Amino acid sequence: MTSGPLSGFTIGVTAARKVEEQVALLERRGAATVWAPALALDPRRVDDATLRAVTEEVLARPVDLFLATTGIGMKAWFDAAESWGLLDDLVAHLGRAEILARGPKSVGALRRRGLRELWSPESERFDDVLAHLRGRDLTDAHIVVQEHGQSLSMVAHALRRLGAVVTSVAVYRVEAAEDPTPMFGLIDHIADRSVDAVTFTSAPAVAALMEAAASVGRRDEVVAAFQADVLAASVGPVTTAAFELWGVPTVEPDRARLAAMVKLLETELPLRSAGIAIEAGGHTLRLVGDTVLVDGVEAPLTPAPLAVLQALAENPGAVVPRRTLLAALPRGAGSGHASSDHAVDMAVARLRAAVGTKVVQTVVKRGYRLAVES
Q: How confident is the model at residue 337 (pLDDT cuts 50, 70, 90)?
A: very low
Question: How does pLDDT run across 196-206, given as a tens digit for each residue?
Answer: 999 999 989 99
The CB-based long-range contact list for 266-270 (8 Å cut-off, 24+ gap) reads 266/5, 266/6, 266/29, 268/197, 268/231, 268/233, 269/6, 269/9, 269/196, 269/197, 269/231, 270/5
Taking residues 295-316, report their average pLDDT: 91
Q: For residue 374, what pLDDT is reported?
A: 64
CATH fold of 44-173, please? Rossmann fold (3.40.50)
| pLDDT of 336 over the 50 cut | no
* CATH class of residue range 276-370: mainly alpha
Q: How confident is the model at residue 339 (pLDDT cuts 50, 70, 90)?
A: low
In the chain, what are the domain boundaries?
10-41+177-273, 44-173, 276-370
Q: How confident is the model at residue 338 (pLDDT cuts 50, 70, 90)?
A: very low
Q: How confident is the model at residue 19 (pLDDT cuts 50, 70, 90)?
A: very high
Question: How does pLDDT run across 254-282, given as a tens digit for each residue?
Answer: 988 999 999 999 989 988 877 788 999 99
* CATH class of residue range 10-41+177-273: alpha beta
Question: How does pLDDT run across 63-94, given as a tens digit for each residue?
Answer: 999 999 989 899 999 999 999 999 999 999 99
Question: How does pLDDT run across 141-168, given as a tens digit for each residue?
Answer: 999 999 877 667 778 888 999 999 999 9
CB 14 within 8 A of CB 37: yes
Same fold for the pair 10-41+177-273 and 44-173: yes
The percentage of the chain sitting over the pLDDT mark of 70, rounded to a whole number, equals: 96
Please state, as a whole number, how many other Cβ atoms lie within 10 Å of the Cβ of residue 116: 10
Q: How confident is the model at residue 2 (pLDDT cuts 50, 70, 90)?
A: low
Taking residues 37-55, report their average pLDDT: 87
DSSP 297-365: EE----HHHHHHHHHHHTSTTS-EEHHHHHHHSPTTTTTT-SSHHHHHHHHHHHHHHHH-TTTEEEETT
Q: For residue 151, what pLDDT is reported?
A: 65
E strand or H helix at 18: none
